[in-house]
Structure 1
Amino acid sequence: MENNITRGGQFIVKEIQAENIFTPEDFTEEQKMMRDSVQEFVDRELWPNKERFEKKDYAFTEESMKKAGELGFLSVAVPESYGGLGMGFASTVLTCDYISGASGSFSTAFGAHTGIGTMPITLYGTEEQKQKYVPKLASGEWFGSYCLTEPGAGSDANSGKTKAELTEDGKHYKINGQKMWISNAGFCHLMIVFARIEDDKNITGFIVEYDPNNTNGITLGEEEHKLGIRASSTRQVFFNDTLVPVENMLAGRGEGFKIAMNALNIGRIKLAAACLDSQRRIVSKAVEYANERIQFKTPIANFGAIRKKIADMATSTYAGESATYRAAGDIENRIKMRLENGNSHQEAELKGVEEFAIECSVLKVAVSEDAQICADEGIQIFGGMGFSEDTPMESAWRDARITRIYEGTNEINRLLSVGMLIKKAMKGHVDLLGPAMAVGEELMGIPDFTTPDYDELFAEEKAILAKLKKAFLMVAGSAVQKYGTELEENQQLLLAAADILIEIYMAESTILRTEKLAHSKGKETVKEQIAMAQLYLYNAVETIAQKGKEGIISFAEGDEQRMMLMGLRRFTKYENYPNVIELREIIASKVIAENGYCF
């Protein structure tokens, strides 16, 4: 196993084999049963009641969460010893994916509870804390929330002003402060609260019980009126001399920032997953409407402008699935490997996810932005009706907007993805220096003008991917050389480099999934998937050419600039450009004939 799985971030310097990645086609029978059960719950309980979510029926959100608890969906990631199903990481991601299709309100409540509400105790709690709290959270008897953000502490989470003071008898901490944007606050029984003890450098985490009949100094603000996720309970929480037993400290003193960051790593890949079924349903609803809507005596699905949108929407959905489940499989393999090497469940899962924190940030950005674009195009296909609350598109668009903000804004995650990669290189976990120097030598050498023979499936696409990785190493490597430790101050350059990194991971994941599928089913059977992989790569190349140029001209001048721009053109050049319009026609024809997303 250790030979077959990469370390986090290594995809940028290593050729990955298709047989070594996990794809949705690799779901086990157990995973397929879970997926079908979740879909049935969504179709029966949530989708027919979308209007209740849009009308801010918070009680219905709570009621639906209880039903999800009764069906075991809240406990998928919880070990069996604490009342959970103890399924693997990929199954956890799968559940987040398919339970999120009907409503962003429910999806947010589910994610806040199962992720940042429960997992900090599962992964950082003492045995006594886990035995006391996790079974109640796993069953849905109790619901959890996560109190990190403050009016003055958003992306800079460690700057929170909430204080925790040890009482004179040494038995409690007294918490005072204010938290905001707290999901599930209106119906939670337990809060993960972060506060600073004295003048500690880092915040500390606490498990705080909440009983509306005995508030213990906890006051809730009114429900926030939000653009989207309207029935997700979101309130401010005020602490006034709230007493918390000393045994309810989570991990050690000053460990809160570490808990917060690792919880967000897990939350980021789950957030990407939570966008996927929404995208599938948006595509399907848009196609159904396009097939039914008659204009100029023909369904609008026959118009090229609409077919382009449908093809692009289906392609971004397929790419999001491919990359999300690839990362989920890598994380699960890393967790298994650590367990086999004697790590505890806590350590194995924490280190497994932390290993792929770069990929988690990449996914959070890419899939959330694709979901927003998909919903926007869905509105456009519906035309004037898409702007109406009578169709599901406008609520999907509003719900999608928050995904670019929570779990760390997309700007923060872009900066993190490149920053974490550079830190991994400095620690020797990913060799960036050697490949970057090799690219520099290649730029100084004479180009190879021979035309390669690309006979095998994806041979040219893989050659292009290898060149795109060189483009990233050229831009990022030169930027590190020029700015050194001051690189993080050049945020616009880092954002451009991050976009290159993101497009490479997404394009490669899509190609590898399709190659694996073609090997098992035959090329003719999956011609639409092949078209999607080729279309995604073409768009990725165009983005990388633009972002690479933007980065190069920001820090290089004269001969160096000319040489690097020449190298960028070489690294973003096809030998045989695909017929993009033809690719879109292949994809759209299949989706329209099937009357929905069918991959």
Structure 2
Amino acid sequence: MLLSRCTSKNLISPKIGIKFFSAKPKRDFKDARTQPKHSQAKSSSSFMMNVFRGKLETKEVFPYPDVLHADQKELITSFVGPFEKFFLESNNPTKNDENSKIDDEVLDQLWQLGAFGIQVPEKYGGLGLSNTQYGRLCEIIGQNDLSVGITLGAHQSIGFKGILLFGNEKQKEKYLPGLASEKVYAAFALTEPSSGSDAASIRTRAVKSDDGKYYIINGSKIWISNGGIADIMTVFAQTEQIDPETGEKKDKVTAFIVERSFEGVTNGPPEKKMGIKASNTTSVYFENVKVPIENVLGEEGEGFKVAMSILNNGRFGMGATLAGTMRVCIEKAVEHATNRVQFGKKIKEYGGIQEKISQMNILQYATESMAYTISQNMDQGSKEYHLEAAISKVFASESAWYVCDEAIQILGGMGFMKEAELERVLRDLRIFRIFEGTNDILRLFVVLTGIQYAGSHLKVLQNALKNPAANFGIVSSEISKRVSKSIGLGAIDFKPFVAPELLPYSQKTAACIESFGKTIEDLLVKYGKNIVNEQYILNRLSNAAIDIYAMVVTLSRSSRAYELNLPTAQHELNLTKALCIQASNRVMDNIQSTKAKSQMELLNIMGEIAGEVYTKGGVNTTHVITNC
């Protein structure tokens, strides 16, 4: 059982805080009347959190959010033109890639456009755009040059995002004007040689001076985007903290605003990379760096929270960016398919090519729908978008890779040539499944967080059943829901929210959500807290959750197109129908595989294979020629 039972402890972070009820709680022989009343589990407005309970929470998905008023739409349109002109006339992505550098004059023009301070409030010198407006500009960047996108994103999406989210007024006044408009670059310094996805295991250390006026930081960071050009860095280091209740000393991560001008900050040479070559990536070293206490970002010991909030907040931008990248790949594939003649016909007439083009568009539509659902929820004030943002990052990065790869396939030999520019895009895309949380870890994050939420509600019900008379409301509500399901009256009804033409497809989605919720409950009862060790099951549950979100956001967006009678409405309805057919089948297959005996048998065999390969350090089969 090596693959499924490989512990997930420390994969995300030992501090993620996931706690599960025991499948076999201890009996409590005390009189129930003497027990305190059971508190309600915390509720959530997040659509995906509630999916893990088999429940439909519509607030953040129906109707499809439209937050931009006319003035905001006019404002973002005024920026779109200059951005597109810049990429058409001034930026050369092929040259950037070959030189592994963006020319200074090109960067100067980006500064003049305000591209480095898109979301910084105007009073600090930025453009002051919303998340949704930022996403629209990210889309343009993704259509043109992902290396430029990384340079911009490392600067503002994560580099100084912590100052926007957690900085006090003095910190904002001191740093944001330069970062927004005065060519002061930023970087996000978290990853270390010994810690990748496990952010809490970092070794860089900050020791407070005896007078409490500053910290001294020692350590190193690797693979830091903008690491060689950043003047301001958000740096994370272990600090000794005293528990106010117990007096016990513990190491906790603290976030710092570190200036390159502080003595002791250096960096290594630019890394040689597969893709995004023009973005600057280096190691950064801190040797006795003296950081004033006022440069602590957020609260001391709360650095892990700061880091996760920054990453969660910025992930929607990746979806918007890659939706733009997919758009260009599709355009190149369509242009070739409509002109290339083989065996007497244009290749666009062949069913195999049509299927590829359709699938590419389905994935682009879903990616774009996710990105703007999340950004607009954020603009409406939502604070619970972390699951949706993680799903968006996973879905977008994997879909973009597929779309670009298929575009190359459609172009054939031409797609393999540099002239078509798709080989550069494919190389650039590969990193998106790795950085800002690898997709493997984000899948675990999604499913474990959702299971924790479902488990907390199930624990409340378990406790309530110990004394049903005192908890009549909880028990009766649950009984009513379960009876309805048992006689075929599903609790989920999309009819008020979707276009009439989509009702059969929304029913497939509803069935997936109900089956998913029941499966989560059954697995919690079966495994209890040990569910964290069943990674085979967790990965399939996560894939099911991702597909459910894709179905719902496309149902919502295409229904919006139908209601507004948009010229693309029928096409959007068809994209949604196709996705719902595909995704609902995958969801049910993934759910079934969590309990199928044949899958468990396969898993055991796979575990034995992996164990043998690990033992031998690689391939371990007898060669057919040498027999050794």
> Normalising by structure 2, what TM-score?
0.77
Taking the aligned partners of 2:155 and 2:135, their CA distance within structure 1 comes to 14
Residues 289 and 382 in structure 1, CA contact (< 8 A), matched pair in contact too: yes
- List aligned pairs for 1:382-397, cutoff 5 A: 382-397=411-426
Counterpart for residue 502 of structure 1: 546
Taking the aligned partners of 1:427 and 1:179, their CA distance within structure 2 comes to 37
Residues 267 and 407 in structure 1, CA contact (< 8 A), matched pair in contact too: no
Residue 261 (str. 1) matches residue 339 (str. 2)? no
Counterpart for residue 517 of structure 2: 473
Taking the aligned partners of 1:126 and 1:536, their CA distance within structure 2 comes to 45
Secondary structure class of the residue paired with 1:20:
coil
Residues 42 and 101 in structure 1, CA contact (< 8 A), matched pair in contact too: no
Q: Which amino acid aligns with 1:275?
A: L
Structure 1 gaps of 5+ residues are: 336-351, 558-599
Residues 125 and 176 in structure 2, CA contact (< 8 A), matched pair in contact too: yes
Residues 115 and 152 in structure 2, CA contact (< 8 A), matched pair in contact too: no
Secondary structure class of the residue paired with 1:457:
helix
Residues 497 and 547 in structure 1, CA contact (< 8 A), matched pair in contact too: yes
- List aligned pairs for 1:173-322, cutoff 5 A: 173-198=215-240, 200-211=250-261, 216-322=263-369
User: 102-111 vs 169-178, which deviates more?
Assistant: 169-178
Q: Which amino acid aligns with 2:273?
A: K
Residues 461 and 537 in structure 1, CA contact (< 8 A), matched pair in contact too: yes
Q: 1:387 to 1:412 in 2, by over 3 A?
A: same
Q: Which among 551, 573, 587 is matched to residue 594 of structure 2?
A: 551
Q: Deviations 1:453-491 (Å, cap 9, x if unpaired)?
A: 999321111111111101211221211121222222212
Report how far residue 422 of structure 1 moved. 3.0
Q: Deviations 1:213-266 (Å, cap 9, x if unpaired)?
A: xx7222211211111111111111111112222221112211111110101101
Taking the aligned partners of 2:271 and 2:373, their CA distance within structure 1 comes to 36
Taking the aligned partners of 2:559 and 2:579, their CA distance within structure 1 comes to 14
Counterpart for residue 121 of structure 2: 79
Q: Provide the aligned C-alpha RMSD in A.
A: 3.1
Q: Deviations 1:345-379 (Å, cap 9, x if unpaired)?
A: xxxxxxx34x1111001111111110010011011
Query: Where is the helix percentage greater, Structure 1 or Structure 2?
Result: 1
- List aligned pairs for 1:22-41, cutoff 5 A: 22=65, 28-41=73-86
Residue 102 (str. 1) matches residue 152 (str. 2)? no
Residues 158 and 310 in structure 2, CA contact (< 8 A), matched pair in contact too: yes
Counterpart for residue 93 of structure 1: 135
Taking the aligned partners of 2:423 and 2:360, their CA distance within structure 1 comes to 16
Residue 328 (str. 1) matches residue 357 (str. 2)? no
Report how far residue 416 of structure 1 moved. 1.2
> Normalising by structure 1, what TM-score?
0.81
Report how far residue 150 of structure 1 moved. 0.2
User: 231-240 vs 431-440, which deviates more?
Assistant: 431-440
Report how far residue 432 of structure 1 moved. 11
Q: 1:374 to 1:204 in 2, by over 3 A?
A: same
Q: Which amino acid aligns with 1:505?
A: Y
Counterpart for residue 243 of structure 2: none
Q: 1:542 to 1:140 in 2, by over 3 A?
A: farther
- List aligned pairs for 1:155-166, cutoff 5 A: 155-166=197-208
User: 316-325 vs 98-107, which deviates more?
Assistant: 98-107
Q: 1:77 to 1:531 in 2, by over 3 A?
A: same
Name the count of aligned residue pairs. Answer: 525
Report how far residue 153 of structure 1 moved. 0.7
Residues 49 and 453 in structure 2, CA contact (< 8 A), matched pair in contact too: no
User: 548-557 vs 87-96, which deviates more?
Assistant: 548-557
Taking the aligned partners of 2:599 and 2:271, their CA distance within structure 1 comes to 47
Counterpart for residue 19 of structure 2: none
Residues 185 and 231 in structure 2, CA contact (< 8 A), matched pair in contact too: yes
Residues 46 and 57 in structure 2, CA contact (< 8 A), matched pair in contact too: no
Residues 270 and 280 in structure 2, CA contact (< 8 A), matched pair in contact too: yes
Secondary structure class of the residue paired with 1:73:
coil
Structure 2 gaps of 5+ residues are: 1-43, 241-248, 463-473, 601-628
Taking the aligned partners of 1:42 and 1:486, their CA distance within structure 2 comes to 51
Residues 205 and 250 in structure 1, CA contact (< 8 A), matched pair in contact too: yes
Considering Cα pairs closer than 8 Å and 6+ residues apart, tell me whether 1 or 2 has the greater RCO: 2
Report how far residue 438 of structure 1 moved. 7.2
Taking the aligned partners of 2:266 and 2:189, their CA distance within structure 1 comes to 13
Counterpart for residue 535 of structure 1: 578
Q: Which amino acid aligns with 1:300?
A: I
